[in-house]
């Protein structure tokens, strides 16, 4: 009898241990790649998503965040997510390469404020931009959240557009950005985000434009301490998931992914304005100057933005044409 009890106990423990291992093994790891550093809105959004997904799924999914281009620069990790070697990634208008409407996420001078953008994106623009995107890209967009409005960082003060026309300014390697730079009369040097700091160090560029969160995380203000608050583009990033993986999930799991992404985006929308304020303080505390552009410069950029909008309405260019562009403009205007 004693031997039977001991044997049962051992078997019970073994079964328990097996069950524990089983649970641990069952947790599926979701890798998310991004381009920004720890502490930036994009990376915060990825971590928040992970926390929510783990909680909602009761540990069925674990999320591993790879920030700062640690799985490669944006083009590489987007390709890896499309082919499914990475489950998810965070990026922005880079995905316009597959679906021109996605460039409209960052239409210059479309939004007056974060509040305006939040209402318009959640009030219909998200759906308008995503119409047909998944079919073309093999990716599903789970949310949209802001990284911040773009401002210029330069070595010398910028009082008018003429002060930046002769400079070599970094722009993202995205048609929307190169077109807008051209319309502004700026000498845009297209390159991925991860190359910005080395290019400043080597004198390949004289400055560029970025959200304040990028300007502080890279500490580019140490080299280019003049920040001009033009706010010409609101950078919007999203979490994308490989569509085949998404479709393979049970309905309950799909709902967890959707809800985790929605909650993560809500958190970032709430955080970003305080992050902007903290960034201005950091730049000024380190000797940088943060100034408003002149009205003439604002007007110049607004006119350049409006000319850039025509890339979306020009049906003769199928690389940039967006059939429902006017609907996007109208939707944005309706929330002003």
Binding of ligand G3P by 210 (CB under 6 A): yes
| Residue entry with tokens 């300014």 | 169
Please report how close the Cβ of residue 21 comes to ligand G3P at its closest, in angstroms.
41
Buried b (16+ CB within 10 A) or exposed e, 33-66: bbbbbeebbbbbbbbbbbebbbebbeeebebebb
Stretch that binds ligand G3P, among 17-25, 92-100, 224-232, 277-285 (CB under 6 A): 92-100
Beta bridge partners of 28: 61
Binding of ligand G3P by 193 (CB under 6 A): yes
Helix crossing, 325-334 with 295-313: angle to 10°?
140
Stretch that binds ligand G3P, among 49-57, 90-98, 301-309, 321-329 (CB under 6 A): 90-98
Angle of CA points 272, 278, 283, to nearest 5°: 125
Question: Which of 45, 172 has the CB closer to ligand G3P?
Answer: 172
Buried b (16+ CB within 10 A) or exposed e, 177-206: bbbbbebbebbbbebbbbbbeebbeeeebb
Binding of ligand G3P by 92 (CB under 6 A): yes
Stretch that binds ligand G3P, among 62-70, 87-95, 296-304, 305-313 (CB under 6 A): 87-95
In three-state secondary structure terms, 237 is: strand
Please report how close the Cβ of residue 94 comes to ligand G3P at its closest, in angstroms.
6
Q: Is the distance from CB of 86 to CB of 30 less than 8 angstroms?
A: no
Q: Is the distance from CB of 43 to CB of 20 less than 8 angstroms?
A: no
Site for ligand G3P in 129-188 (CB under 6 A): 172
Site string for ligand G3P, 247-286 (x = CB under 6 A): ----------------------------------------
Question: Which of 56, 120 has the CB closer to ligand G3P?
Answer: 120
Q: Among residues 205, 215, 235, 241, which is the contact residue for ligand G3P, using CB under 6 A?
A: 235
Give the integer Cα–Cα distance in Å for 160 and 2. Answer: 91
Please report how close the Cβ of residue 282 comes to ligand G3P at its closest, in angstroms.
19
Q: What are the tokens at 210?
A: 């970025």
Give the integer Cα–Cα distance in Å for 166 and 169. Answer: 9
Site string for ligand G3P, 97-136 (x = CB under 6 A): ---------x------------------------------
Name the site residues for ligand G3P (rule: CB under 6 A).
92-94, 106, 172, 193, 210, 235, 237
């Amino acid at each position: 009898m004693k031997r039977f009890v001991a044997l049962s106990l051992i078997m019970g423990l073994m079964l328990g241990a097996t069950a524990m291992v089983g649970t641990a093994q069952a947790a599926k790891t979701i890798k998310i790649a991004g381009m920004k550093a720890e502490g930036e809105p994009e990376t915060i959004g990825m971590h928040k998503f992970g926390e929510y997904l783990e909680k909602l799924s009761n540990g069925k999914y674990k999320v591993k965040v790879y920030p700062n281009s640690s799985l490669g620069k944006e083009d590489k990790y987007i390709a890896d997510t499309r082919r499914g070697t990475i489950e998810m990634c965070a990026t922005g208008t880079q995905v316009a390469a597959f679906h021109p409407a996605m460039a409209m996420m960052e239409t210059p001078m479309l939004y007056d404020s974060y509040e305006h953008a939040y209402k318009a994106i959640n009030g219909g623009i998200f759906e308008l931009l995503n119409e047909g995107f998944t079919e073309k890209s093999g990716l599903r967009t789970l949310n949209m959240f802001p990284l911040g409005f773009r401002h210029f960082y330069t070595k010398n003060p910028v009082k008018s557009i003429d002060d930046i026309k002769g400079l070599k300014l970094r722009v993202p390697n995205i048609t929307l950005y190169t077109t807008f730079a051209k319309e502004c009369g700026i000498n845009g040097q297209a390159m991925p985000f991860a190359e910005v700091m080395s290019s400043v160090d080597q004198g390949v560029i004289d400055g560029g434009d970025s959200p304040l969160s990028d300007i502080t995380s890279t500490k580019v203000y140490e080299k280019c301490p003049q920040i001009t608050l033009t706010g010409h583009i609101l950078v919007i990033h999203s979490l994308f998931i490989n569509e085949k993986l998404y479709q393979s999930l049970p309905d309950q799991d799909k709902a967890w992914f959707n809800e985790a992404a929605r909650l993560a985006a809500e958190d970032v929308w709430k955080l970003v304005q305080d992050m902007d304020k903290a960034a201005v303080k950091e730049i000024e505390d380190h000797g940088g100057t943060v100034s408003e552009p002149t009205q003439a410069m604002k007007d110049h950029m607004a006119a350049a933005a409006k000319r850039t909008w025509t890339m979306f309405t020009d049906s003769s260019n199928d690389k940039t044409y967006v059939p429902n562009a006017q609907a996007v403009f109208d939707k944005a205007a309706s929330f002003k």
